[in-house]
Structure 1
Amino acid sequence: MTELVVRTLPSPSGVQGPGPDTYKGWLFKWTNYLKGYQRRWFVLSNGLLSYYRTQAEMAHTCRGTITLATVHIEVGDTCHFVLTSGGRSYHLKAYSEGECQRWVSALQQAKANATHMMPHSDDSGDEGPLAQPDRALIQGALKTLVSKLEDLSTCNELIGKHGAALQRSLSELEDLRAPTDGTDKLKTVNERATLFRITSNAMINACQDFVDLAEGHSRRWQRALQYEREQRHHLEETIEQLAKQHNSLERAWRESPSTLNQAAEGTLEGESSEENEDIEFFDAMEDSPAFITVPADNHSQHRLLSSNQSVTSGSLSSNWSQDDNDGSGSYLRRGRRRRIPDKPNYSLNLWSIMKNCIGKELSKIPMPVNFNEPLSMLQRLTEDLEYSELLDRAARCDSSLEQMCLVAAFSVSSYSTTVHRIGKPFNPLLGETYELDRLEEYGYRSICEQISHHPPAAAHHVISQRGWTLWQEITIDSKFRGKYISIMPLGNIHLKFHTSGNHYVWSKVTSTVHNIIVGKLWIDQSGDIIIVNHRSKDTCHLKFSPYSYFSRDVPRKVTGVVTDGEGSAHYILSGTWDEKMESAKIIESSHACGGSEGKQKTVYQTLPPKLLWKKYPLPENAENMYYFSSLALTLNELEDGIAPTDSRLRPDQRLMEAGLWDEANTEKQRLEERQRLERRKRDAQANLALEEGKEVETYQPIWFMKRTDLETGESSFMYKGGYWEAKDRQDWSQCPAIF
């Protein structure tokens, strides 16, 4: 190999490499119109130009590689040159004209060496890993092999032809009768044997050439394949390392956000002195002015407390102070299980499933349980009660505004169990039910029923001996949008307190599952929740901020404002939907200029925030148990006396929980096919009734019926009673055999 020696003077960019065909240094690379040229560390070695963000990245992360064998080098204006390879252009700039000329000379020499060496490189395999093969070189090698195959085919035809002629001559020689004819026949046989020997030798030589050529290219391709494998392994290790760094940074942020925030601000100031924007504590609400909060000083607090005796303990009454929920409870359940079998390590080929979906209706394709978790949607709906003690505390509140804060915290807490839960719940069968009797431990009973299959809809009813009733009818609508799936729950949640009669109504936000095709799955919640007290007309507007890579806000951020019936704000809510929520009492508000956009901002002066809700820690080994919470671990636990339609008795779900996924897939397909058959029967009966002019009987749930709420005017399926009485009598004659 011809050595490329580049002699340069010391400069801020170029660094002479120690070996042949090697050159290193800083260059500016064009990235995009937003960021322009960015400083990158370039390394020229063995016919490849690689670049990194820093010199330290050379040990683990390469940002890109350019093969110089087929690259086109174009020198532009001062200090600027362009490399074009494979239809892609790289615009580069050097620190000075001299440095630019040295880089261009080094690249041109490296290109010449790479072009000269690639077709005639030693195929012994002793030179180390080969660079990525160029498409033109591969096509040239294939053409050469095809040419050799054509030579072998020609030789094969000649051997066949001369061999047949020689065989005929030998046959004639055996049939020879007159001795005088022997001389001529022997001469003919010798000639044909000579032609056959020559053709055979040509065939042997052609075969040897083909074998040698094929072995040479095979070794080259094997080295190229090994190079690709090493690159892939290196990339996987890099991604894994980045994921670990991301998790550690996120963990460190949660443990000490103030320290990291100061460090991040210092870093940002060092990188760009122009980024001196004001930090806003809350996002602007859509239908109200943007607002920021300013904690009140000690003097203001003392003045307010001395003048208004009704504000005690930081504006929180003893009924719902943070002492009631210090976040340290483990939510242990007496006599309930605390673990399930570990999740098996089953691999899943997504393409093997997607290719079977081509040309078919998605509703008729059985999706494997590999996408699921061993819980049904009815059980996931019941998980909203994970923090039911918030409603117990709210029932003891005298102030409807304080009660609203706790109801808002409860509405946010239902999403805390989803942060790691990327598994899909089982779609309940029509008529499937699920009960959760926690009367002894927590004073409530819950019953769910699947009331519709297309579209999937469930009705839920909870009654508590501690002063509240909750009911909801939820229909799930989902949209596949290529890289992610949006899950939009439709319907309202109703909550009524027995003593005060306060009736709260709200709906759920959109859940989005990202990286459906490529990457690690993760879930996000986004949208607005508006909670309305239909008795007092108090409202709470919660905003779930969608995750953004470029945002400086805390991920999974939730902010909100509690206002009375006249529109006056009384509390600011803040926190994250996966960790905690806090409330701060507003003691004063004012308006300020909104800055460049000219929008008016409302500045709220508040007392120090008080903790409303904090997420309980996950059980030990949760990562191997589908990241289930303490409550979720007990939801599929078998109990005596439950209805035969209960989700706990669903066979495919039980098989999956036991780790028998192949058997679970078979059972799931059987249940879904049976449900389709039942639906076809109902459709046939409906069509027959229409033909005969009779009234079509639609499916009616067992435990719920459609009613109109007198306060809200909303029509929905509500609990009609009878379930718990049937359980006491153990009379399940109304229940269909769905399993």
Structure 2
Amino acid sequence: TQAEMGHTCRGTINLATANINTSEDSCSFIISNGGAQTYHLKASSEVERQRWITALELAKAKAVKMQAESGRRWTCATRLGEGKRMSVCYYSGSVRAVVVTKCTVSIYITIHILSNQLRSPAFVLVVKRNGFKRKKFNLQVVMHSDAKHHLRKRACHEFLKMAQTHSRKWQKTLQYERDQRIRLEETLEQLAKQHNNLERAFRGATVLPANSPGSASSSKGETWGHSCGVWRGTVLPANGLGSTSSSKGLGRTPPHTHWKFHKLILRRKRRKCIPDKPNYSLNLWSIMKNCIGKELSKIPMPVNFNEPLSMLQRLTEDLEYHELLDRAAKCENSLEQLCYVAAFTVSSYSTTVFRTGKPFNPLLGETFELDRLEERGYRSICEQVSHHPPAAAHHAESKHGWTLRQEIAIGSKFRGKYLSIMPLGTIHCIFHNSGHHYTWKKVTTTVHNIIVGKLWIDQSGEIDIVNHKTGDQCHLKFAPYSYFSRDVARKLHGGVLEKKKKKTTKLLQKWKKKKKIVRVWREIDPWRTLHGMFSLRENAENMYYFSELALTLNELEEGVAPTDSRLRPDQRLMENGRWDEANTEKQRLEEKQRAVRRKREAEVTRATEDGAPFDNYKALWFERKEDPVTKEMTHIYRGGYWEAKEKQDWSLCPDIF
């Protein structure tokens, strides 16, 4: 640059005797003075390289001419600015254009020098002394000018010709891209119309098979499902979807569809991670010391002890290993089916090994749905049906032929060194084809090292799984673990007892490489593995040790009820790491719930004669009545939730958030 002229010079080359070699690559060139000095230069682009070469050629030609006239040396630095002004940038891809440019520059310099000589006093003196014929000289100047303009015109013609050739090429490319864009837009528009048609077709179609409770289906078993903007068809004709198949077993084809697929199963991509857990320190004993012997559900706790899931979502996690029930539904042998049910019972504790966080206590009327009908073949709905004591009702149904329902009330006591959590209630599993009806209860969960040490969780107690149709039973015993015991942690043993033949099938739970395995043994069979725990994802310790299913439970979805746990603000703030705001929001929600409860109790008190307080709250989607099998008073799903979701009619839902 011009600013560097005052710095130390690395050397100079006289342009009048310099060689400019352009045989290098498209961006490089070489300047040398015959061997003593050589400079290898590289421009930022091919166009920039051509500008430099043109400027250097112009400066060299001028240096040669001026040296011949006045003996002065011209360097590249002294005339680079003027050379830039006189250079003409032509298309660098044409060799002919470059040659014409060089010739034009040479002629232009010659004419420029001659013009200066014509105006100089020395030339006038020469004419007077030597009698130089001015007219003849002017004629030569005109001829040079004509040649210059001719070469310029020729160069412009060459450039125009090449520009037109490449212009037509790019125009064709541009037109092709425009056509592609138009076709894509038309395709997207057509897909959008087909999607709307499918939604309309679904509104009048059934969702569950005929053998699933609470559903209605046609005689041909037509099945169509839709959730969260994702469409799934069970079986579609292979000869195109534009016509209706008359073969038995084929689903009814939705109208106005043009896809050529045999099966159409589009699954939503679920999230694989959540924000990392913040590292907040909190003195647990400072809060728990005043809770000894009390019911923890009545004591407000900060979210620092929680995990960003509600108790309704934790209850839904029982379906993590729903495949065990799918396999059980296919079993023809009742004892084998009972073994799978026992394995499913044990699987509900597979996620509690590292999960020391407390789930959020659901607000009264809070719900949680899990719609995996298209992906896994089942769907589930939970509702908090009581606040004191806290109780939640759960109903799950599968197109594979089973229904799971339960009402779980949580009782908890803090004993100083440990916390005991006692689930109260009965779990029911009904298989539609065989009519087998199984019931069982959950065991006690204990959280150890509340005051000092690392928290760890253990299960203890006994489970009796009963088949009310055959009378077969399965007895499972969860042995409590102690540091002073030689037994392994989380030991489980039990067996299946057949009522008629009084034969026993043994079940045993073992731990291998941190994977829980339930094995079944019979007198005539070797050990057979029924259940293995899924591996946790990488970085699980920073995501509350959530399983693959747990990571998706709080993921936002469209169309859910306004009382769904996903929409709970304090839980959402905690998941996002904003714990201080979550605690403030949690207090607001609890105070709002208490105000509603006081208002409801006041209304009942005024309506009753004796004035005794009575809570007249009734669940929205569940009905409290006597269970026909266990004769217990429990909440059983009354139906209507999925129909309300389809219509998006949530007018009956209370305002709890």
Matches within 5 A, 1:139-288: none
Which amino acid in 2 is paired with 1:652?
Answer: D
Aligned mates of 1:339, 1:574 — CA distance in 2: 33
Deviations 1:317-372 (A, max 9, x none): xxxxxxxxxxxxxxxx8500000000000010235435787999976653111100
Q: Which residue of structure 2 lines up, in the alignment, with residue 708 of structure 1?
A: 626
Does the alignment pair 1:690 with 2:608?
Answer: yes
* Residues 1:529 and 1:462: Cα distance change in structure 2 (over 3 Å): same
Does the alignment pair 1:524 with 2:458?
Answer: yes
Does the alignment pair 1:400 with 2:334?
Answer: yes
* Residues 1:713 and 1:351: Cα distance change in structure 2 (over 3 Å): closer
Does the alignment pair 1:655 with 2:567?
Answer: no
* Residues 1:676 and 1:400: Cα distance change in structure 2 (over 3 Å): same
Deviations 1:445-481 (A, max 9, x none): 1000000000000000001000100000000000111
Displacement of 1:608 in angstroms is 2.1
Q: Which residue of structure 1 lines up, in the alignment, with residue 491 of structure 2?
A: 557
8 Å Cα contact 2:295/2:412 also seen in 1: no
Q: Which residue of structure 2 lines up, in the alignment, with residue 445 of structure 1?
A: 379
SS in 2 for 1:441: coil
Matches within 5 A, 1:414-493: 414-493=348-427
Q: Which residue of structure 2 lines up, in the alignment, with residue 630 of structure 1?
A: 548
SS in 1 for 2:412: strand
8 Å Cα contact 2:354/2:545 also seen in 1: yes
SS in 2 for 1:579: strand
Q: Which residue of structure 1 lines up, in the alignment, with residue 586 of structure 2?
A: 668
SS in 1 for 2:447: strand
SS in 2 for 1:471: strand
Q: Which residue of structure 2 lines up, in the alignment, with residue 324 of structure 1?
A: none
8 Å Cα contact 2:476/2:494 also seen in 1: yes
Which amino acid in 1 is paired with 2:356?
Answer: I
8 Å Cα contact 2:309/2:359 also seen in 1: yes
8 Å Cα contact 2:289/2:416 also seen in 1: no
Displacement of 1:380 in angstroms is 0.1
Aligned mates of 1:615, 1:359 — CA distance in 2: 35
SS in 2 for 1:654: helix
Does the alignment pair 1:643 with 2:561?
Answer: yes
Does the alignment pair 1:611 with 2:611?
Answer: no
Deviations 1:90-144 (A, max 9, x none): xxxxxxxxxxxxxxxxxxxxxxxxxxxxxxxxxxxxxxxxxxxxxxxxxxxxxxx
Aligned mates of 1:359, 1:373 — CA distance in 2: 24
8 Å Cα contact 2:394/2:406 also seen in 1: yes
Which runs of 5 or more structure 2 residues have no equivalent in the other structure? 1-266
Displacement of 1:709 in angstroms is 2.8
Q: Which has the larger radius of gyration?
A: 2
SS in 2 for 1:448: strand
Q: How many residues align?
A: 389
TM-score by length of 2: 0.57
8 Å Cα contact 2:297/2:361 also seen in 1: no
Q: Which residue of structure 2 lines up, in the alignment, with residue 299 of structure 1?
A: none
Displacement of 1:696 in angstroms is 6.0
Aligned mates of 2:377, 2:290 — CA distance in 1: 48
8 Å Cα contact 1:561/1:569 also seen in 2: no
* Residues 1:501 and 1:664: Cα distance change in structure 2 (over 3 Å): same
Aligned mates of 2:311, 2:654 — CA distance in 1: 19
Aligned mates of 2:403, 2:299 — CA distance in 1: 39
Aligned mates of 2:604, 2:284 — CA distance in 1: 38
The Cα RMSD (Å) is 2.3
TM-score by length of 1: 0.51
* Residues 1:482 and 1:466: Cα distance change in structure 2 (over 3 Å): same
Displacement of 1:551 in angstroms is 2.6
Displacement of 1:565 in angstroms is 1.6
Q: Which residue of structure 1 lines up, in the alignment, with residue 278 of structure 2?
A: 344
Matches within 5 A, 1:580-599: 580-587=517-524
* Residues 1:467 and 1:659: Cα distance change in structure 2 (over 3 Å): same
Matches within 5 A, 1:10-25: none
8 Å Cα contact 2:472/2:497 also seen in 1: yes
Aligned mates of 2:345, 2:610 — CA distance in 1: 49
Matches within 5 A, 1:282-361: 334-354=268-288
Displacement of 1:586 in angstroms is 1.9
* Residues 1:404 and 1:666: Cα distance change in structure 2 (over 3 Å): same
Deviations 1:386-435 (A, max 9, x none): 00000000000000000000000000000000000000000000000000
1:579 corresponds, among 500, 503, 516, to 516
Which amino acid in 2 is paired with 1:670?
Answer: R
* Residues 1:507 and 1:359: Cα distance change in structure 2 (over 3 Å): closer
Aligned mates of 2:505, 2:431 — CA distance in 1: 21
Displacement of 1:628 in angstroms is 0.1
Aligned mates of 2:485, 2:450 — CA distance in 1: 23
* Residues 1:557 and 1:357: Cα distance change in structure 2 (over 3 Å): closer
Does the alignment pair 1:381 with 2:315?
Answer: yes
Higher RCO structure (Cα 8 Å, ≥6 apart): 1
8 Å Cα contact 2:379/2:396 also seen in 1: yes
8 Å Cα contact 1:525/1:544 also seen in 2: yes
Does the alignment pair 1:533 with 2:470?
Answer: no
Aligned mates of 2:296, 2:474 — CA distance in 1: 39
Aligned mates of 1:523, 1:516 — CA distance in 2: 11
